[in-house]
């Protein structure tokens, strides 16, 4: 069978199948869950702070009164439990695992919570990793969640494709940094989301600047911000410019990210306002 005979979305030979009418269906919720909205956080490139952005998005929504969960889909490099200071096996019964709860009530599921040692590597091939992500949706009791944040691994491979095909995404947040190289790779993530017909809620420029502790001046450690040009060229909404903040790094290392004080992502609530305003 030639590649031309296959749908570019599901890679199957399906008559009339296309990215707009692909036969793949999103996975249904299990009987334990009432998840209202699902947002994925994605980067085309590693090292841009995607997991910290995922955590800060969840924290921002939780502070506004929403019930929030984080599905850590970065199976081989999970960091969400460390940031929130949670560990140990989740509770379970014969049917499901129960999401762990942070100190501020954010629900979390991550593969690191299922390992005997958090330093243990996960040496799995792509299909197994993708299957684990699906199980975090089908086999975890999340309960009532207004917004589930999915922390994706970097790139445009198996896991982002699985999430876009299998989970009912309301949209994606793209994370980048000021370097032109990062923005080039971000365009790949943007084009993937558009190819899969998943809405892009906007993007976050992380590590945008360092604020001098003495004079307050913004120091462009990685060069001038390209947020405005990226927004214009790609037709995206800038949700936030995040600084390099030693206080955030210290809190993440100590498992106390929920103590981070700055109020962020006001624009995200504007983007989701129509969907979220009736949930609380």
- Could you give all domains of the chain from N- to C-terminal order, each with its CATH number? 30-173+243-271 (3.40.50.300)
Phi and psi at residue 70, to the nearest 5°: -125, 120
Q: Summarize pLDDT for 36-56 with one digit per residue, the tens.
A: 999 999 987 778 889 999 999
Model confidence at 184: pLDDT above 60: yes
Look up residue 218 and give its two tokens. Answer: 């913004």
pLDDT single digits (tens) 209-237:
898 888 888 898 888 888 888 888 888 88
Which of 216, 190, 214, 217 is CA-nearest to residue 202?
A: 190
H or E element that contains 268: helix 266-276
* Dist CA 230 CA 257 (whole Å): 29
Q: Which residues, 6+ apart, have CB-to-CB distance to 244 below 8 Å?
A: 207, 209, 210, 221
Q: Higher pLDDT residue, 177 or 86?
A: 86
Using pLDDT thresholds of 50, 70 and 90, give the confidence band for residue 277: low
User: Would you state the structure tokens that stand for residue 251, as one six-digit string?
Assistant: 């809190």
Q: What is the percent of the chain where pLDDT is above 90?
A: 56
The C-alpha atoms of residue 187 and residue 158 are separated, in whole angstroms, by 18
Lowest-confidence range among 18-22, 136-140, 222-226? 18-22
Cα–Cα distance measured from residue 245 to residue 156, given in angstroms and rounded to the nearest whole number: 28
Instruction: Over range 57-75, report the average pLDDT.
Output: 94
Q: Characterise 99 by phi-psi region: left (phi > 0), alpha (psi -120 to 50), beta (else).
A: beta
Residue 89 CA to residue 99 CA, distance in Å, equals 10
Residue with the larger pLDDT of the pair 6 and 251: 251
Tokens of residue 193, six digits: 């989301």
For CA atoms 55, 60, 63, 65, the dihedral sign is: negative
The Cα 68–Cα 146 span in angstroms is: 6
């Amino acid at each position: 069978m030639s590649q031309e005979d296959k749908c570019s979305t599901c890679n199957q030979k399906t008559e009339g199948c296309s990215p707009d009418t692909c036969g793949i269906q999103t996975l249904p919720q299990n009987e334990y869950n009432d998840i209202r909205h699902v947002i994925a956080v994605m980067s085309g490139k590693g090292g841009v702070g995607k997991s910290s952005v995922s955590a800060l998005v969840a924290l921002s929504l939780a502070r506004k009164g929403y019930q929030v969960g984080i599905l850590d889909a970065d199976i081989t490099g999970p960091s969400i439990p460390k940031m929130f200071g949670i560990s140990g096996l989740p509770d379970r019964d014969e049917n499901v695992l129960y999401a762990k709860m942070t100190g501020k009530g954010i629900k979390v599921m991550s593969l690191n919570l299922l390992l005997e040692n958090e330093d243990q590597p996960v040496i799995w091939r792509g299909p197994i990793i993708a299957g684990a992500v699906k199980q975090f949706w089908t086999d975890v009791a999340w309960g009532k969640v207004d917004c589930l944040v999915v922390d994706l691994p970097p790139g445009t491979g198996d896991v982002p494709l699985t999430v876009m095909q299998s989970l009912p995404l309301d949209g994606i947040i793209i994370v980048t940094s000021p370097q032109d190289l990062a923005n080039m790779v971000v365009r790949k993530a943007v084009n993937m989301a558009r190819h899969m017909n998943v809405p892009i809620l906007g993007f976050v420029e992380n590590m945008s600047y360092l604020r001098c502790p003495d004079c307050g001046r913004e120091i462009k450690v990685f060069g001038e911000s390209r947020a405005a040009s990226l927004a214009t060229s790609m037709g995206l909404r800038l949700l936030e410019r995040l600084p390099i903040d030693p206080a955030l790094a210290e809190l993440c290392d100590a498992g106390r990210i929920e103590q981070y004080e700055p109020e962020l992502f006001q624009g995200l609530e504007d983007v989701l306002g129509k969907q979220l305003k009736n949930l609380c």
